[in-house]
Amino acid sequence: MWEGIIKFIRGWKYNTHPERIAYKTRDIAMNGAMAAFNFFRDEKFRELSGFARLGEEEQNRIFNELTVTNLVLAILLLEQKAREENGEEKKNYLRALRDALPDNFIAYLAEQGIPGEFVEIWKKLIDLRRDEYAENMRAYRQELFAAGDKTMAAVAADNKLLIFQTVVFGLYDHIVRGMVKKDDPLYLYLQPYLLGHYKEFLKYMI
């Protein structure tokens, strides 16, 4: 009897019906977008990024990078968690979320009346950043292992931590357009911001 109850609960919890997946992914995407908006308005962030000296187009570009980074962070974490999962029901559920997340975010933009040309740009940006961060993560892992240090090897072996570190640096790199600086306060300020959302995204994978 208990096995039947447990199976029923798991089937309900990891239900991949399109409407449920759409609801969950909209929730993930909107939480990420709202977090990006709030951080975009953060006075300390604007001070560290030299926001007041930037033109409107550059300011909008930074907002887009904040938004797409939260989205891609969730996509990469969902994929990693799915790889680690043994149960097929949960694995399929996580991958359904991963696959639907970018499409439902794009659909939301279209529903809000965003012109089609800009929706297409967003679609390409999501794909670009997802591929870029995944490739950077592989290169970063190789560098850490090649260092021959036990601490670095431990970081390289922790895939979720590696995702976080890669995405933080990637966001920083794009905000400053590759003009990275050692111990830049902006980079240090981005870490606790993204860490909060990293932990928030993990709640969707329990």
Averaged in consecutive runs of 10 residues, what is the pLDDT profile of the chain (206 residues)? 47 82 92 94 97 95 95 94 91 94 92 89 94 93 84 83 93 96 95 89 71
Measured on CA atoms in the order 176, 33, 197, 22, is the torsion positive or negative?
negative
Nearest CA among 15, 17, 39, 35 for reference residue 27? 35
First to last CA, the chain: 24
Collect contacts of 174-181 with beta carbons under 8 A, ≥24 apart. Answer: 174/65, 174/69, 175/49, 175/62, 175/65, 176/49
Q: Where are the domains of the chain?
A: 2-205
Rounded Cα–Cα distance for residues 35 and 33 (Å)? 5
Q: Write down the pTM of the prediction.
A: 0.89
Residue 12: what pLDDT? 56
